[in-house]
Amino acid sequence: MTGQTTIYDVARDSGFSIKTISRVINGAPNVREETVRRVRESIARLDYHPNPAAQRLGGGRLPTIGAVVDSIDDPFFAGVVAVIESRAMDVGMDVLVASTGMDESRMRTQVERLTRRGVAGLVVAPFGGDDTVRKALAVDVPVVVIDRKCGVEDRDVVRATDEQGAYDAVHHLVAHGHRRIAFLGNTSRFTTLVDRYTGYERALGEAGVDIDPRLVETRAWTADEAYPHALALLATADAPTAVFAASPMMGLGVLRAQQRLHRQDIALVIFGDHPASDLMTPPTTFVDQHPSRLANTAFDLLTRRIQEPEAPVRDTVLPTSLVPRGSGELAPRAAAAVAP
Amino acid sequence: MTGQTTIYDVARDSGFSIKTISRVINGAPNVREETVRRVRESIARLDYHPNPAAQRLGGGRLPTIGAVVDSIDDPFFAGVVAVIESRAMDVGMDVLVASTGMDESRMRTQVERLTRRGVAGLVVAPFGGDDTVRKALAVDVPVVVIDRKCGVEDRDVVRATDEQGAYDAVHHLVAHGHRRIAFLGNTSRFTTLVDRYTGYERALGEAGVDIDPRLVETRAWTADEAYPHALALLATADAPTAVFAASPMMGLGVLRAQQRLHRQDIALVIFGDHPASDLMTPPTTFVDQHPSRLANTAFDLLTRRIQEPEAPVRDTVLPTSLVPRGSGELAPRAAAAVAP
DNA sequence: AGGCGGCATGACAGCGCTGTCAACACCCCG
DNA sequence: CGGGGTGTTGACAGCGCTGTCATGCCGCCT
């Protein structure tokens, strides 16, 4: 064992009691400035670092924040976690990661586990039905919900303007002359996706286009599941001339299908960026959710709530922006050329 | 407060002393089977979970493993962390993530911080010179080093066959008729990259091709840094007909340059996969490092070492495999066609 | 002068667990 | 039948910190 230096060493070295050291560490009020200075000196000299386990045991939480996301592997969440880790490091905290694997009960388990561990706060991308999520988040620790509201009313939430972002995307396609625009995205669970569908509807409605149910595919969750559906959509005689993929995963499915069918001529806008999207042929037009901004906002909110547990709940909706890069600006002519 | 159930509650409920409960929890020997059964029953009935902070304080480590990587954002490491998290969850542990941001001293800080936190073990992708890395890893906790050896001799290491993988890649290009093959990768720091360069040398040597120093670019670390160098390489009159990118980041730089110059005709093999590489035009041929296999192996080794701290050190070198997908099979003719 | 309140500090009892050591029952052996 | 294991259990002292309460001191009011 390394014979860690403890608060007693600092007390001995500085000539104060351990309680005063504790006060200095925690920035408690009513400590003379001179005392603070001398204790700080001792701490630095001895390179003392408080033992988090002991701090927690002595009543308190760990200097740790928990991040619960669908999958750490997902580029969107990887980006979010990266920002959180970096912000946490700046304030001397660290980050426990936990994935839900898009499984309601596992999500609940993870939240409970991290809570028991004694984390100071949680950033959660919820997964599941509203009731399940609400139950899972009924824990006694600050929580910030990201990306999806899932009916949560008593927690801070940070998310994007889903409806408007989708509207912008579809409107963009309409503006480029498209009328047969497909929608891909699973609307069965999240308001997020439902909102995006609503944006799709609104844009088409405004353009006077009736929605063709054959162009709406709402069954897939993952890229692998989306792929066959995208194939089917694109292969029909009456194929769409443009596709709106309501999530990056859907987008990957579509891109894969396009490549398979050599149909680089179909316009595509994806909600959310994915790596190397600028290297596609043509480069993918997408709705930017600004994941790092979302993560930063979430971190700020969490910090605030840790300090002020009773602050009013805030539902922050961050604007998205459409980034035209090529795939969304294709004209519909190509489709006609291919029709039998 | 939730009035957490403690070991005392279980003791009372089961009629044994807290020490016996502790024994059952930790699978200690010499406990009657009947006792184990009854204690387990009480634990289940009360839904008791030991308090990790207390376990640690009472002498022991946290049921937590730390992962230190360049960046959580990097798809390669995101994949590694995802696997570790999932494996850890299976055995009731959780994962603290820490990024080095490719900074030697920060890496050391992170390793020390996690060690102080009391993690049971560490998976580290080291960054920095051999001496720095050795010093940073001189901590009193099990460590498994991944991806790069960095001169570490007293720790378990899991990495890929860098030299052979690079050889395969370059040999593949040679076999497709290329003789002017560029190398991109920073060889200034890691044996990993040096080994890959050695593989490049060997493949060219065997083919009787002299190395043209103008085709070897070793300054860049990141994709952004690689991009201008790749541009310069491809734009020269005497441009290479093929490129071997010694890391995914270098690969992205090359792809970006290729797109910019509309030079999809230059053959390319990348060491390491990156997301959507199968969607490039043409799909990217790469050397698969099998990141999840690497992560699984690392986890196995770490588990072993936690249980058997004195086990002999193991340096595991996992084979890579070349995955031809299009970009590596282009013939050199294209370059000639473009020459001025 | 006596009393009161506010500040600065310290003594001490936990927090929930594990390690150490001791106690006890039981068995085998001579 | 006594001595010496072996197997099973418990009492108790920490681990390093924080919360509670007590202490001493000073200035100020009446």
pLDDT one-digit tens code per residue, A49-89: 999 999 999 888 899 999 999 999 999 999 999 999 999 99
Angle at B57 between CA B52 and CA B61, to 5 degrees: 60
pLDDT reported for residue A1: 42
Whether the beta carbon of B46 falls within 7 A of nucleic chain C: the reply is no
pLDDT reported for residue A25: 95
B73 CA to chain A: closest CA distance, Å? 5
- Between CA A220 and CA A199 the distance in angstroms is 19
Cβ neighbours of B309 (radius 10 Å): 9
**Residue-wise pLDDT tens digits, A203-255:** 999 999 999 999 999 999 899 999 999 999 998 888 999 999 999 999 999 99
Chain B residue with minimum CA distance to A96: B96
Q: Helix (H, G, I), strand (E, B), or coil: what is residue A331?
A: coil
Above 90 in pLDDT, residue A340? no
Question: How distant is C1' of C22 from CA of B59, in Å?
Answer: 21
Q: Which residues of A touch B78 (CB under 8 A)?
A: 72-73, 75, 78
Query: How high is the mean pLDDT of chain A?
Result: 93
Above 80 in pLDDT, residue A339? no
**E strand residue ranges, chain B:** 64-69, 94-99, 121-124, 143-146, 156-160, 181-184, 216-217, 242-245, 267-271, 285-288, 315-318, 321-323
Higher local confidence (pLDDT), B334 or B297: B297
Q: Counting every residue, how long is chain A?
A: 340
C20 nearest neighbour residue (CA to C1'): B19
Residue A3 pLDDT level (bands cut at 50, 70, 90): low
- Between CA B108 and CA A13 the distance in angstroms is 27
As a three-state string, the secondary structure of A43-106 is: HHHHCCCCCHHHHHHCCCCCCEEEEEECCCCCHHHHHHHHHHHHHHHHCCCEEEEEECCCCHHH
**Residue-wise pLDDT tens digits, B258-313:** 999 999 899 999 999 999 999 999 999 999 999 999 999 999 999 999 988 889 99
Average the pLDDT over B120-129 and give the result: 95
- Between CA B60 and CA B120 the distance in angstroms is 8
Residue in A82, A98, A275 closest to B94 by CB: A98
Above 70 in pLDDT, residue B3? no
- Cα B90 to the chain's mean position, in Å? 20
**Residue-wise pLDDT tens digits, A169-187:** 999 999 999 999 999 999 9
Give the strand pairing for B321-323 and B285-288. antiparallel
Both tokens assigned to A201: 């509807």
Residue in A75, A97, A281 closest to B75 by CB: A75
pLDDT reported for residue A2: 54
pLDDT reported for residue A190: 83
D18 nearest neighbour residue (CA to C1'): A58
pLDDT reported for residue B59: 80
Which residues does B242 contact at the CB level (< 8 Å), separation at least 6?
A: B173, B176, B178, B180, B181, B182, B266, B267, B268, B269, B330, B332
pLDDT reported for residue B1: 43
Whether the beta carbon of B152 falls within 7 A of nucleic chain C: the reply is no
B178 CA to chain A: closest CA distance, Å? 24
Residue A338 pLDDT level (bands cut at 50, 70, 90): very low
Average the pLDDT over B131-142 and give the result: 94
Residue B125 pLDDT level (bands cut at 50, 70, 90): very high
Residue B4 pLDDT level (bands cut at 50, 70, 90): confident
pLDDT reported for residue A22: 96
pLDDT reported for residue A308: 87
- Between CA A64 and CA A67 the distance in angstroms is 10
Q: Angle, nearest 10°, between helix axes B18-25 and B7-14?
A: 110
**Residue-wise pLDDT tens digits, B166-208:** 999 999 999 999 999 999 999 988 889 999 999 999 999 999 9
Task: Categorise residue A262: left if φ over 0, alpha if ψ from -120 to 50, beta otherwise.
Answer: left
A301 CA to chain B: closest CA distance, Å? 21
Average the pLDDT over A31-45 and give the result: 95
B258 CA to chain A: closest CA distance, Å? 9
pLDDT reported for residue B310: 87
Cβ neighbours of B258 (radius 10 Å): 22
Question: How distant is C1' of D1 from CA of B32, in Å?
Answer: 30
Cβ contact, residue pair B114, A97, below 8 Å: no
Average the pLDDT over A113-139 and give the result: 94
For the entire predicted model, the pTM comes to 0.93
Task: Using a pLDDT cut of 70, give the percent of chain A over it.
Answer: 97
Q: What H or E segment, with its residue span, contains residue A115? A: helix A104-117
Residue A29 pLDDT level (bands cut at 50, 70, 90): confident
Question: How distant is C1' of C29 from CA of B308, in Å?
Answer: 37
- Cα B59 to the chain's mean position, in Å? 31
- Between CA A263 and CA A273 the distance in angstroms is 21
Q: Which residues of B touch A50 (CB under 8 A)?
A: none
Chain B residue with minimum CA distance to A259: B279
pLDDT reported for residue A162: 97
